[in-house]
Structures are given as C-alpha cells and as structure tokens.
C-alpha cells in the first residue's frame, strides 16, 4: 500500500466521490478538479487531510494544494478514483461550465495571451538589457554607455533589436496564430493572416501619423489604404476570430472531398479583405480610445487616485481572472505611447502580495506544514506569479491580502506620481525593474521598497488586531 493510498481515499470521499469529478489533472503543486457539483466538496474536511496544504477555487476549478509530491499523489488518486488522465486544456474547457459570461470572456482572452506570454517576457527582458547596454552611462565617470565604448557592445545593442522587433512589431502574427490554435482551426492560416497585417509593403503603423500621403490599393472604383498594424492588438484579435469562425462554418457546408482546397481559400481571402477594409480601422480606433483613456487618466491631475484604485484592486482582479485584460491594454499603450505606465503597477502588486506572505512566514515560523506552501509562494510572487500566494496564504487569512493591497496602492501612487514608464511587459515582481525606462528606474526602485516594507509591517500589525485573531481562530491556529 502506498503512503498516498489513505489520503487519496479520504480526498476522493470529501470531493463527493468519483461521480462528482468531471475531470481532474495536476500542475506543479496542485490537484485541479472540475466538479459536477462544487457544493458537494467538504472544503474544511479536505484542508484537514495531512497531505493537503490548502484549497481554493479559480476559473471554475477546485484546486487542492499538495506540494512537490503532487505527481505521485495524483497517480495514486486517479487509480483509486477510476478517473482517466486528462490534459490541462480539457480541464479548462470543462471548467467553463461553472463560469458566468464575464468569466468565460476573460477565460477566452487568457487563452489567447497565455501561449504568447513567454515571448512577451523575453521581449521585455531584451529591451531591459538594451537599456543597460545603450542607455546607462556607466563608464568614463558616468559619461559613456557600454554601446559607445566598443564595437562589440554596439553590435550587441543593434542585434538585440532584431528579437525585440520580431516580438512586439510582429505581435499580430502571434495573436492570430494563438486564436487559430485556441479555436482548433488551421494554425498556418492564422499565421498568414497575421503576416498580411504587418507586411513590409504596408505603411508601418508607427509612420502613419507622420506620413504626408497614405499609399492605397487602387481598384478603380474604390481604394483600400495600405496601412500596417504593427504591435496592434485589437485589429489582430478581431481578424483572427473572423478567420476562425469562417473556417469553422465552411467546414460544415463544403464537402469533405474538396474541403482541403476550398475551405482555406474561402476562409483566408475574405478574412484578409475584411481585416484591411473594416476590422483594422475599427480595431485601431477602439485600441486608441482605450489606450488614450488609460494614459490620460494616469497622467491627469487625478492620476494618483486612478493609481491608488488600480493598485488596490489588481490582486482582486487576479482572483476573478479579469486581470488578463490588462495584457491587451499594456500592449496597446506600448504601440501608442512607446511605453506603458500600467504594467509597473502590476509588477508592484506582485511584490506587495509576496511581501505580505513573507510577513506570514515570519509570524508562522514554527508552522513547518504551512511553510511548504508559503516559502515557494513568496518566491513565486517576487518573480511575478501571485496565484499560489493569494490562494494558498493571503486569502485564507485575509488580513495579509488586505495588507498587500494597501502596500500595492501606495507603491502605485509613487510610480504614477513620478511618471514611471516601462518599455514593455516583462518579468513581473522584482525583475520587473529591467523593463522600466532608464530615467524612471530610481523612482520605480523607491516604489518597490514601499511595496516590500508596507505590506510586511501592516501584516504584522493586523495580525494583532481582531481581524488577525479571528483569522487564526477560524483556521484553528
């Protein structure tokens, strides 16, 4: 008998038995269930199981924190429960049955951006390295950059732009590919559609404002402007979905024997035409409105208030999944204003929630079981991934969650009040400073200190108030 047999049987009973499990899989530390009836799960009893370090529900999934032994536990659990091996994508799709309309919309947005986030992070780091190489005057008594000091560094500075340009300027290609992948349609058609939005024969999006004349395709009785959509998010999303739904519809009506020929043709050609005639201009306008409203709001006389609200509310947005919409806004800001003042606040929120966890590590330093969750969660927060900290520690006690939100709000006001701008989305948390534009790095560092110190102190203070005492009693501490 395996050491996981008894806890597996107990967990199976407490989640409502095999009949209540729609699908189940696991990630690095957690079992991830989609339950037919989530009300049947006895959460308190599950958390009392020795091997379980916590539970939470997110995006329609009931997640049970096991720790590093989750893979072995999962194998034993599925054998006992009689449930088959299921991919994370299957779990995500099944979980959508437990979501409302807004949650499903955000889940779809997340599905689009999640596959391309690694590229965006790499792009942010590369722009950060270019900052260090070409912008910081660190030689000759602070008068010369590395790029100016030697041909090697100058060449590296230029070479790195090749990668950054491919990631950010050609972003529509990644978006249309990701939509095709998500919708189960022909991915290469998505790539081709994206390429038509950024083709070199088009007027580059960054040159439209200064152009004295817009080139056109002239069809005699009508013309189409030859405008590119480099770095544009919304035109790519709209075009990608048009292509996907056209292909899905055509598959249903065109006989299979000729579908390989006619489905790609009659899906791609109209999608490209619609993208350049209708969706591109509309998407550009919508994107410009959104980015202008956000940018003007953050740089107005009331920018500090906008920052305080966003900094305080970002962690709750993560809980609901609504935070995924900020990726699109950040990328739109970058295309319109050559940087984003929104993303620095996100990095600061990560740090603040991590610092609240560090305070809980200190307060509960004798609780070895909890530290198996809290220590990795704090590290994860400082590297930009907050879910383990939010659901594993901060929300369970609540007062560290509030302390983190408060510290995030103060740090956000410092960031926005001093005009901090990031070159791009990058690695969240502490490494995020690499993505900050050079003139703003010092003030971002000040905001980082606030995001570390305030939540730590406030968490300890709140632990001694009625809120903290009640939390400890509720959790049987």
- The three-point CA angle 132-135-136 to 5° equals 65
Structure tokens given for 163: 């990668």
Nearest Cα neighbor of 459 from 368, 373, 389, 412 is: 389
Given CA atoms 271, 272, 277, 280 in this order, what sign does their dihedral have? positive
Nearest Cα neighbor of 357 from 382, 331, 340 is: 382
Structure tokens given for 307: 């920052």
Phi, psi for residue 32 in degrees, rounded to 5: -120, 110
Does residue 350 contact residue 358 with C-beta atoms inside 8 Å? no
Does residue 373 contact residue 68 with C-beta atoms inside 8 Å? no
DSSP SS3 for 62: strand
DSSP SS3 for 304: helix
Beta bridge partners of 62: 33, 57
CA distances from 319 to 302, 315, 352, 368, 386 (A): 27, 7, 15, 26, 10
Beta-sheet pairing, 223-225 with 216-218 = antiparallel
Whether 27 sits among the annotated catalytic residues: the reply is yes
Does residue 63 contact residue 57 with C-beta atoms inside 8 Å? yes
Give the separation between CA 440 and CA 419, rounded to whole angstroms: 7
Task: Exactly one of 6, 27, 105, 317 is catalytic; name it.
Answer: 27
Nearest Cα neighbor of 90 from 156, 5, 33 is: 33
Nearest Cα neighbor of 238 from 170, 299, 287 is: 287
What is the distance in angstroms between the CA of the first residue and the CA of the last residue of the chain? 32
Does residue 31 contact residue 74 with C-beta atoms inside 8 Å? yes
Nearest Cα neighbor of 227 from 175, 288, 276, 171 is: 276
What counts of helices (H) and strands (E) characterise the chain? 22, 6
Give the separation between CA 304 and CA 175, rounded to whole angstroms: 33
DSSP 356-411: HHHHHHHHTTT-HHHHHHHHHHHHHHHTT--HHHIIIIIHHHSHHHHHHHHHHHHH
Active-site amino acid positions: 27
């Amino acid at each position: 008998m395996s050491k996981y047999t008894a806890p597996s049987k107990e967990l199976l009973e407490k989640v409502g038995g095999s009949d209540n499990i729609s699908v189940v899989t696991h990630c690095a530390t957690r079992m991830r269930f989609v339950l037919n009836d989530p009300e049947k799960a006895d959460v308190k009893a599950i958390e009392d199981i020795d091997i379980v370090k916590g539970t939470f529900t997110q995006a329609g999934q009931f997640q049970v924190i096991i720790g590093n032994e989750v893979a072995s536990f999962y194998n034993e659990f599925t054998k006992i429960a009689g449930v088959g091996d299921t991919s994370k994508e299957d779990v995500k799709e099944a979980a959508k049955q437990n979501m409302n309309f807004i949650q499903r919309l955000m889940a779809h947005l997340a599905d689009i951006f999640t596959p391309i986030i690694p590229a965006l992070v790499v792009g942010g780091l590369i722009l950060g390295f270019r900052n260090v190489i070409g912008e910081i005057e660190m030689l000759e008594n602070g008068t010369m950059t590395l790029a100016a000091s030697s041909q090697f560094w100058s060449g590296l500075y230029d070479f790195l732009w090749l990668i950054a340009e491919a990631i950010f300027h050609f972003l529509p290609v990644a978006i249309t590919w990701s939509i095709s992948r998500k919708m189960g349609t022909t991915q290469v058609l998505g790539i081709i559609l994206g390429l038509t939005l950024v083709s070199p024969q088009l007027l580059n999006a960054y040159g439209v404002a200064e152009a004295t004349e817009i080139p056109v395709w002239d069809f005699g009785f009508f013309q189409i402007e030859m405008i590119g959509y480099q770095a544009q998010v919304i035109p790519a999303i709209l075009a990608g979905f048009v292509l996907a739904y056209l292909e899905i519809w055509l598959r249903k009506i065109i006989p299979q024997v000729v579908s390989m020929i006619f489905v790609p043709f009659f899906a791609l050609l109209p999608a490209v035409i619609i993208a350049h005639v209708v969706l591109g201009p509309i998407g550009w306008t919508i994107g410009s409105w959104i980015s202008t409203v956000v940018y003007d709001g953050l740089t107005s006389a009331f920018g500090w208030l906008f920052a305080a609200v966003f900094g305080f509310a970002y962690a709750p947005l993560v809980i609901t999944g609504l935070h995924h919409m900020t990726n699109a806004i950040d990328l739109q800001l970058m295309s319109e204003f050559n940087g984003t003042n929104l993303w620095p606040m996100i990095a600061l929120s990560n740090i603040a929630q991590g610092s609240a966890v560090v305070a809980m590590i200190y307060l509960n330093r004798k609780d070895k079981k909890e530290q198996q969750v809290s220590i990795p969660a704090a590290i994860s927060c400082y590297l930009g991934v907050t879910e383990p900290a939010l659901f594993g520690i901060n929300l369970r006690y609540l007062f560290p969650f509030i302390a983190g939100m408060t510290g995030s709000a103060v740090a956000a006001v410092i960031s926005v009040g001093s005009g901090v701008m990031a070159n791009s989305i990058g690695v969240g948390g502490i490494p995020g400073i690499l993505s900050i534009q050079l003139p703003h790095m010092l003030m971002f560092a000040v905001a980082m200190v606030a995001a570390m110190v305030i939540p730590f102190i406030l968490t300890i203070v709140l632990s001694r108030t009625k809120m903290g005492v009640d939390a400890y009693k509720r959790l049987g501490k």
